[in-house]
């Protein structure tokens, strides 16, 4: 009796939930089907299935958008930022979680202030500083910025992993004469790899999608990552909807695949850190 | 960006009893955290201080720096477009604090009461959140395009309310862009609220049901109070982020037409990088920081007063 009632009463739930799911998914789906339509067809049939599948949009967009270069640029930025910020954040998280640091309350305060500062306040002076030392239009310059922006988040996430690790392992290693660094590389890192992976995914996603700093610090088209070059591409071919849709799909497809494979980690990491997406 | 605000106890050190360590030992420990501190000083703290100072200069980005006192702020308070931008940020905040939160709560509440397919809905709602702003912007620009979008298609059926250039009309450009940003954001709220609701004691619902509470009453008197810390946290995040909004506005309208969707972020960018008025741009940056400070201060004061948030 009770069970039956529950099944009946959950039907309206499913109806509303499905409407919301369609609201989230249909626009993405339309982007995908439009990426294989000709622009003429999109004009006549903006949301329906294509009458004729135009795969050529993809090689065309790849070619005209210079994707060979922009994908390479983005991969350099993503991988270097992940390695750099996880190294810095891993060490710091270890110190905060496991070593007795005087004044770590001060560091907490520093993070509170440092991460609430609007990027627009420090971006312009940072641009001037980077210009002085020749870091504008270099990948290194942007990687340093990304490491600075994302390492507090990674530190926060990794620290919460490391606090939970069992003390016995660490004690045992210390008795065997391991230094702090050896404890970190031999015990802490292997045990907290899920934390590293989650933080790495979130940082990678943020760098891949990042727009404002990439727009400002990499203005030379040869160095542009995929986000800002796609923006320029959309501007240049603004009437060619099929082509620009294909260009968008190239950028978004690896993200969607990775998200579907590792959604638990993505959701955990993105909701834990409160990074603006 | 601001997770540390809600969790500022999280960094409290884990103290273990020990004998007094040697100075080298202490330095060795600090060496682990030094790279993080130095990097943050270089990328965030020092340029931020520099930014505060520049707000009192007329610097163009090149050449000598002249301090001009508070002239930038005097100009700012008379600048109609700045006030327009500030108002747009306020409208943006009001919009994000109502509709996306309402939809997020609705989605999470319905989702928390079903068993089958919860995972599917979670993934579906979250998917737009992982997609880049450039792509989302392009997608909606096409869907809402006056010639190749759904507007003209609906107009053929006699539904004409979308059959005009939404992003190119003064009255609708700002809300159009806000809608696109919200479409990408609300699923994130669903997941946050859902995990908060999962922690609510089931017995509270049982008691409410026995008392004859309707589903809405259960939501109002059990769910909402139980998830208040998360709710307040999202309100704070949205308030701060609404002052920072840049991507969607810059990409979709660049503040236009005729500043009708201009926000502080795009107005600042224009001054810094198109008009080479770095001092003036910095003063806008200071106003944006003030906004965030007021939001955080309000949050801290409420917590000091004993609000459980």
Confidence label for A188 from pLDDT (cuts 50, 70 and 90): confident
Confidence label for A6 from pLDDT (cuts 50, 70 and 90): low
Give me the mean pLDDT over the A222-235 stretch: 93
Give me the mean pLDDT over the A72-87 stretch: 96
Helices assigned H by DSSP within chain B: 3-6, 23-40, 46-54, 71-78, 80-112, 118-130, 133-143, 150-156, 173-198, 202-210, 215-218, 224-226, 228-244, 247-252, 264-269, 278-304
ipTM of this complex prediction, to 2 decimal places: 0.89
User: Does residue A162 or residue A147 have the better pLDDT?
Assistant: A147
Residue of B nearest to A99 (CA): B29
B133 touches chain A (CB under 8 A): yes
B contacts of A124 (beta carbons < 8 Å): 51, 54, 268, 272, 278, 281-282, 285
A162 touches chain B (CB under 8 A): no
Return residues 52-91 of B near A (CB < 8 Å).
52, 54, 61
Check pLDDT > 90 for residue A74.
yes
Check pLDDT > 80 for residue A8.
no
> Which candidate from A27, A98, A244 shows the least CB-CB separation from B140?
A27
Q: What's residue B249's pLDDT?
A: 96
Helices assigned H by DSSP within chain A: 2-34, 39-44, 57-64, 67-98, 104-114, 119-132, 139-163, 167-175, 180-183, 189-191, 193-209, 212-217, 226-236, 241-261, 263-273
Check pLDDT > 80 for residue A131.
yes
Q: What's residue A238's pLDDT?
A: 84
State whether B128 and A24 contact (CB < 8 Å): yes
Model confidence pLDDT, tens digit, residues B131-152 = 999 999 999 999 998 888 888 8
- φ, ψ dihedrals at B67, nearest 5°: -80, 130
Please state, for a pLDDT cut of 70, what percent of chain B lies above it. Answer: 92
Q: Tell me the residue length of chain A.
A: 277
A21 touches chain B (CB under 8 A): yes
Tell me, yes or no, whether A276 lies in a domain.
Answer: no
A contacts of B167 (beta carbons < 8 Å): none
Q: What's residue B30's pLDDT?
A: 83
Return residues 210-269 of A near B (CB < 8 Å).
211-212, 215-216, 227-228, 230-231, 234, 241, 244-245, 248, 251-252, 255-256, 259-260, 263, 266-267
Residue of A nearest to B26 (CA): A101
Q: What's residue A112's pLDDT?
A: 66
CATH of B71-304, one of 3.40.228.10, 3.60.10.10, 3.40.50.720, 1.10.3720.10: 1.10.3720.10
B24 touches chain A (CB under 8 A): no
Tell me, yes or no, whether A133 lies in a domain.
Answer: yes
Task: Give the integer Cα–Cα distance in Å for B188 and A200.
Answer: 19
Nearest to B81 by CA among B266, B241, B290, B288: B266
3-state secondary structure (DSSP) of residue B307: coil
Domains in chain A, number: 1
Domain boundaries, chain B: 71-304
Q: What's residue A144's pLDDT?
A: 97
Q: What's residue A210's pLDDT?
A: 95
Check pLDDT > 80 for residue A120.
yes
Check pLDDT > 70 for residue A277.
no
How is residue B40 written in tokens?
């943050």
State whether B128 and A275 contact (CB < 8 Å): no
A contacts of B131 (beta carbons < 8 Å): 28, 209, 252, 255-256
Which residues lie across from B67 on neighbouring strands? B57
End-to-end CA distance of chain A: 46
CB neighbours (10 Å) of residue B153? 17
Low-confidence ranges of chain B (pLDDT < 70): 1-21, 307-309
Tell me, yes or no, whether A126 lies in a domain.
Answer: yes
CATH number at residue A227: 1.10.3720.10
Burial of A210 (0-12, 13-18, 19+ CB in 10 A): buried
CB neighbours (10 Å) of residue B172? 17
Give me the mean pLDDT over the A242-264 stretch: 93
Q: Is the CB of residue A125 less than 8 Å from the CB of residue B51?
A: yes
Cβ contacts of residue B75 below 8 Å, gap of 6+? B280
Give me the mean pLDDT over the A12-35 stretch: 93
Return residues 169-198 of A near B (CB < 8 Å).
180, 184
Closest chain B C-alpha to A211 CA, distance in angstroms: 7
3-state secondary structure (DSSP) of residue B42: helix
Model confidence pLDDT, tens digit, residues B114-129 = 888 899 999 999 999 9
Tell me, yes or no, whether A62 lies in a domain.
Answer: no
State whether B237 and A274 contact (CB < 8 Å): yes
Closest chain A C-alpha to B245 CA, distance in angstroms: 10
B contacts of A272 (beta carbons < 8 Å): 3
Task: Give the integer Cα–Cα distance in Å for A171 and A188.
Answer: 12
Cβ contacts of residue B41 below 8 Å, gap of 6+? none
> Which candidate from A25, A102, A274 shows the least CB-CB separation from B2?
A274
Give me the mean pLDDT over the A149-160 stretch: 88
Q: What's residue A274's pLDDT?
A: 52
State whether B12 and A107 contact (CB < 8 Å): no
For residue A112, give its domain range: 68-236
Tell me, yes or no, whether A20 lies in a domain.
Answer: no
How is residue B207 written in tokens?
């008691």
How is residue A18 written in tokens?
């499905």
State whether A270 and B125 contact (CB < 8 Å): no
Closest chain A C-alpha to B180 CA, distance in angstroms: 11
Q: What's residue B12's pLDDT?
A: 42
């Amino acid at each position: 009796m009770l069970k039956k009632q529950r099944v009946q009463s959950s039907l309206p739930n499913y109806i509303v939930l499905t409407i919301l799911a369609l609201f989230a998914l249909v626009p993405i789906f339309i982007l995908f089907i439009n990426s294989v339509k000709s622009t003429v067809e999109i004009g006549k049939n903006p949301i329906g299935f294509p009458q004729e599948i135009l795969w050529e949009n993809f090689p065309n967009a790849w070619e005209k958008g210079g994707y060979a270069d922009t994908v390479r640029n983005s991969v350099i930025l993503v991988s270097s930022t992940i390695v750099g910020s996880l190294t810095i954040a891993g060490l710091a998280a270890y110190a905060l979680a496991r070593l007795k640091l005087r004044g770590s309350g001060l560091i907490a305060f520093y993070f509170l202030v440092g991460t609430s500062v609007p990027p627009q306040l420090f971006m312009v002076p940072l641009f001037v500083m980077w210009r002085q030392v020749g870091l504008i239009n270099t990948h290194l310059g942007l990687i340093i910025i990304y490491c600075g922006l994302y390492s507090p988040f990674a530190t926060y996430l990794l620290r919460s992993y490391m606090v939970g690790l069992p003390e016995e392992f660490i004690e045992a290693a210390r008795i065997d004469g391991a230094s702090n660094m050896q404890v970190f590389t031999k015990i802490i890192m292997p045990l907290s790899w899920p934390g590293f992976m989650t933080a790495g995914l979130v940082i990678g996603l943020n760098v891949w999608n990042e727009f404002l700093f990439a727009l400002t610090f990499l203005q030379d088209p040869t160095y542009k990552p995929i986000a800002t070059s796609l923006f320029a591409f959309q501007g240049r071919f603004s009437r060619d909807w099929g082509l620009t849709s294909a260009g968008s799909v190239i950028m978004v497809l690896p993200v969607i695949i990775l998200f579907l494979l590792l959604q638990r980690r993505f959701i955990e990491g993105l909701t834990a850190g409160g990074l603006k997406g | 960006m601001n997770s540390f605000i809600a969790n500022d106890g999280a960094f409290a050190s884990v103290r273990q009893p020990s004998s007094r360590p040697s100075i080298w030992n202490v330095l060795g420990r600090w060496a682990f955290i030094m790279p993080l501190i130095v990097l943050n000083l270089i990328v965030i703290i020092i340029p931020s201080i520099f930014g505060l100072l520049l707000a009192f200069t007329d610097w163009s980005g090149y050449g000598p720096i002249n301090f001009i006192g508070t002239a930038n702020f005097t100009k700012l308070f008379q600048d109609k477009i700045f006030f327009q931008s500030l108002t747009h940020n306020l409208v943006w905040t009001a919009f994000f604090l109502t509709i996306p939160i309402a939809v997020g709560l609705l989605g999470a509440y319905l989702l928390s009461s079903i068993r089958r397919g919860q995972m599917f809905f979670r993934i579906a709602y979250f998917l737009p959140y992982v997609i880049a702003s450039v792509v989302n912007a392009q997608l909606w620009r096409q869907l809402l395009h006056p010639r190749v979008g759904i507007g003209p298609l609906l107009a053929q059926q006699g539904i004409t309310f979308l059959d005009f250039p939404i992003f190119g009309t003064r009255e609708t450009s700002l809300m159009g862009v806000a809608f696109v940003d919200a479409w990408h954001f609300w699923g994130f709220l669903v997941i946050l609220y859902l995990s908060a609701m999962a922690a609510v004691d089931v017995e509270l619902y049982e008691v409410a049901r026995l008392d004859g509470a309707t589903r809405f009453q259960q939501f109002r008197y059990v769910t909402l109070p139980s998830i208040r810390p998360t709710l307040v946290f999202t309100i704070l995040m949205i308030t701060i982020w609404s002052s920072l909004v840049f991507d969607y506005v810059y990409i979709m309208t660049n503040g236009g037409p005729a500043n009708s969707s201009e926000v502080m972020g795009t107005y600042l960018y224009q001054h810094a990088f198109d008009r080479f008025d770095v001092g003036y741009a910095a003063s806008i940056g200071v106003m944006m920081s003030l906004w965030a400070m007021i939001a955080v201060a309000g949050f801290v004061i409420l917590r000091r007063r004993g609000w459980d948030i």
